[in-house]
Structure 1
Amino acid sequence: MIEEMLFQGWSGIIRTVLVGALAYVGLIAFLRISGKRTLAKLNAFDLVVTVSLGSTLATILLSESVALAEGLTAFAMLIGLQYAVARGSVASGRFARLVRSEPRLLMHKGEILHDALRRERVTEEELLSIIRSNGSAAADEVAAVVIESDGAFSVIPKPAGGGAAEFASADLPRRG
């Protein structure tokens, strides 16, 4: 029993090395063909594809019931679906809004937008922590905080001097 947990024979190791190397080469080839966007984490769909590719590679490597051809087909399908979603997003604004979230303003000119925090499920304490982790001691040192499409936070400092170069928020959705 213990021996089987530690070593089940050379055939499994040889299969893992051979199929693993071929699956890796296949994945790299598919990624080179599909372009940089495939692994970009711009939205939830991009993240799902990245995680799914890793999970598929692990399954190909460790599951003897999954043949290399099936694994490569899964890679092609995932990358093809990601490509279709990306193309659809570029071609149609309506489709783009359906599949990805828009950035949301959480704080503007020192004012915390509580409705936006609630909608994005961010607490005020988390917002203040994000501001501190970006080098600002207090919220009044910040022009804006935005939660981006990928869930990352952008902290925009107030301009030095506060003169004519005031932060312009016209291009950010303020749905609070």
Structure 2
Amino acid sequence: MTVIAWIVEGTWPACIDAARTHAPEGADIVLLHVTGSEVPGAAHGAYAGLLGRARPERDPGTALEHLAAASADQLLADAAERLGRPCARSERTGRVEREVVAAAEGADLLILARDGDHTHLGPRSLGPASRFIVDHAPCAVLLVWPETAPGIATMPPPPPHHR
């Protein structure tokens, strides 16, 4: 069995705790972090467009890429330590939602945390990337709350035509 745990700043501990709880002994666990390419790409473009290409060593996009890689490495190390069992680490760069779906190909389970509104039950508890991943994942998905789930009194009322 292969289990992918998508590691995101802020919600990763819940995903690791879910992997410890739900991944059977002997499962291949992969900790996945995806760095979006939008910010470094914008910095590269701005530098090239405004300042030219005469001094590539001063390109702020390269510095942002290095900072993102260091941050991802540290986050994956912290997650592996919390998991406390053998695992693989995978770092990808690109459109986050598409990279997560691609990484889940061939996996048996994908674990991710809600990344939207944590104060209410309902569809707004998922951000756009997580919604895409849930809708397109090629395997079973375990969706966890990053902290205690809100009570059912926070569930939105039914639409007027269903009352």
TM score, norm. by length of structure 1: 0.32
Structure ranking higher in helix proportion: 1
TM score, norm. by length of structure 2: 0.34
Structure ranking higher in strand proportion: 2
- Greater RCO, CA 8 A, separation 6+: 2
Higher Cα Rg: structure 1 or 2? 1
